[in-house]
Every structure is written in structure tokens, then in C-alpha cells.
């Protein structure tokens, strides 16, 4: 069985064709202080929330510590607590902004477990709706994403404002 491919909107071509950079994006992106460009939705003391650049669904968020940590057990107690609190905040934001019917949340620890970035832990928060998967992944091995990342970012940023105000 081959992997599911993704169809991207034409405006994503610039991102896809950019040179592959070395290093850890979960370390680099927060240091750049270009939150909208880097899809960083919220910053805490030890963790941050960002949109996944290769989402399973529109609004797919990731929570990651600023510190480069490969193992969950190496987080400090403060980082662990804030990490869980940010997963909860992510769910509140998504509920307010896009009202999903449910969520998939979790971590892929290690490459063999499916981690695309296996040396910097992060949690996924994926909003789900009835019928959000269809025949395309089964028949064509293609995932159709109906919303641009920049549009998702703006909608979720407004949801964040409503949740934290």
C-alpha cells in the first residue's frame, strides 16, 4: 500500500519549492519573530502553538516546547504542564473558531511511530468533522485540503482573541 498524497493549492507552490533548510524548524521558527509567516498562533513561556504546514485537516495545530527536546520524559514539570494547557487552549480556540465535531490529539514519539520531526517533541491537535474524509484518499491516495493555511491562521487567530479576551 502506498502513502496518501496531498493536493496543494497553487499559491502553496512557493513554499513547496523553497530549498530544504537544515536544522529544526520547531527551534528556528519561533526565533524568527515572524509569527504569521511561520504560522505561530500563540506563544507561552515554554511552549508555543502553530499551524501544521502539512495539515491532515484545516486548523491542524501543533504544540511544541521552545527547547529542543527529543523525549517526553525530558520536559521539565513546568514545560509539561504548559504543554497540556496549550493543548486544551488549542481545543478551545478551534471550538470557538471552527466548531469541529471532534478532535484527534496526540504525539508521534520517534520516526517509526510516524514523527515527521522526531528529534523535537510536539503534540498534534486535529479538528474533525462528519464527512471530513471521503473517497479521495481511498481511491486516489490523495488528500484534498479545502482551506489555505493563511485563511486558517486568520480564522484561528480571531478564535484565540475570543478565547483569551
Cell numbers placing 129: 468533522
DSSP calls for 68-132: --S-GGGS-HHHHHHHHHHHHHHHHHHHHHH--SEEEEE---SGGGT-SS-SS--EEEEEE-TT-
Catalytic annotation present for 83: no
Indicate which residue of 60, 83, 122, 124 is catalytic. Answer: 122
Catalytic site positions: 122
Amino acid at each position: 500500500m502506498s502513502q496518501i498524497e496531498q493536493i496543494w493549492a497553487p499559491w502553496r507552490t512557493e513554499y513547496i519549492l523553497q530549498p530544504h533548510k537544515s536544522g529544526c524548524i520547531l527551534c528556528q521558527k519561533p526565533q524568527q519573530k515572524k509569527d504569521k509567516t511561520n504560522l505561530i498562533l500563540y506563544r507561552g513561556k515554554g511552549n508555543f502553538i502553530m499551524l501544521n504546514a502539512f495539515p491532515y485537516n484545516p486548523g491542524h495545530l501543533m504544540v511544541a516546547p521552545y527547547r529542543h527536546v527529543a523525549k517526553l520524559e525530558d520536559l521539565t514539570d513546568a514545560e509539561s504542564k504548559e504543554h497540556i494547557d496549550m493543548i486544551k487552549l488549542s481545543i478551545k480556540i478551534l471550538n470557538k473558531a471552527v466548531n469541529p465535531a471532534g478532535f484527534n490529539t496526540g504525539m508521534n514519539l520517534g520516526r517509526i511511530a510516524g514523527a515527521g520531526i522526531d528529534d523535537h517533541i510536539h503534540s498534534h491537535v486535529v479538528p474533525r468533522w462528519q464527512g471530513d474524509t471521503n473517497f479521495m484518499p481511498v481511491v486516489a491516495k490523495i488528500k484534498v485540503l479545502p482551506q489555505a493555511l493563511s485563511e486558517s491562521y486568520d480564522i484561528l487567530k480571531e478564535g484565540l482573541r475570543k478565547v483569551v479576551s
